[in-house]
A and B are shown apart, each in its own frame.
Chain A
Amino acid sequence: MALSVAISFGLGGLSGCVGRGPQPPAALDSYYRDQQPALSGDGRLLAFVSGRDGTQSILLYNLQRQQFINLPNLNRDDAIAESPSLSYSGRYIVYLASDRGRPEIELYDRITRRTQVLSSGYRGWIRQPKISPDGRYIVFQTGRRGQWDIEILDRGPNVELDRRQ
């Protein structure tokens, strides 16, 4: 349900420009670098970092419909985003974004189309955040103790879980 709403939003945004009718399939890869793939838990969606069009952006591709899905408000002109990961249905995207020169773990909710910084106030170098399929936990690599360690972040019992699993 959540997914289909988000997809119809995404497709609605695309088809709005071209008119009605199904879209022709879009190629996943480009002639620029396409890196850091992340699959949704159900294996239907693929998020990755692409260097196409001269920018570095996080893109979301539907492997079954072979179409890109719009991510309004995710990619910003003044920040670099990398290392995406997806919850089970792809409702939540967690990634690393440079914010005022500092890497932060951000969460994008495809239902609300909002981003949220999850790591504010965290002291230490952060790498490779990964969200759990239900969307509650995020694990990441930290340099806080002077070596690489693993940290688990809990979004809490009151978050809306990605229940399609």
Chain B
Amino acid sequence: MTAETAPAETSAPALTQRVGRAVGRAGILIPVVIVFVILSVISPPFLRFGNLTNILDQQAGIIIVACAGTFVLIAGGIDLSIGAIYGLSGAVALQTASSVSPVAGVFAGLAVGLAVGLANGVIVTQFRINPLIGTLAMTFVVSGIAAIVTKGNLVVALDHLDFQSFAATDILGLDSAAWIMIVVAVLAAILLSRTTFGRYVYATGGNIQAARLGGVRVNAVRVATFALSGTAAALAGTLDASRVLSAQASSGQFLTFTVLTGIIVGGTSILGGEGTIGRTVLGCLFVALIANGFNLLGLDPFYQQVTLGVILLLAVGVDAWSRRFE
């Protein structure tokens, strides 16, 4: 926010309000810092440059999907099909890259995600199917198609190193995937906070009836958020297929959960109308730090699942609880 110099806004209540809102805005930053400090103290390898860049490289796909998913949630929807889209588009991209060309592979992967995202949007807005159920059903449809496309096998193309350069080119110590993630996050943040589209997304999720009467084409907005989400899931699937030069229909089965946890822990409300890209990125990093900590400390990964599940419940609970006071 730019500085406000109007005298009315520097009066005492406005000031406390600002401080309150600043603390509220910090929200997820506080636990992220706490976990960061704890890990730095108890696990010396944590602070190594290699470990930190490794976290970013590994989180690239998740953060990309989460940034787009934030739009869906703010607009009042939810997209459970992102994991399935991730799996299908990775497989399609890799097969196209090995049979046609790496560039065609990238575009084929993205086109799959865009198409499924648009289908999700139409299902939710035109057929008026609850997004939770609509995208859950699409998860099965898309996963099934992915299993058909891959014939149920692991697709490998280990000799296509040119395709690997899409995700794994080292630039200033970070993979190109991580740089793409940074670019996506910055663009998403600008789109959400600075454009008319971003405003309409908040309005649609905040009060759909008011947005409609205010002249916002709410269905177009909702379709666009699902299209963004599908395309982002495809980008993540394509990047990860490129990185390891292999793809599998079921590879995204935990992605949906991880992404939604990151978004919601970041403070975006599942009820819509609220959230920012910055918070989502921090939320995803928080989840990643917990996971990294479990690895570094050599803890059982099953406990990691339990922990993340509890964290998701806590985040949703805190959101519901904080809304009671309005």
Do A and B come together as binding partners?
Answer: no
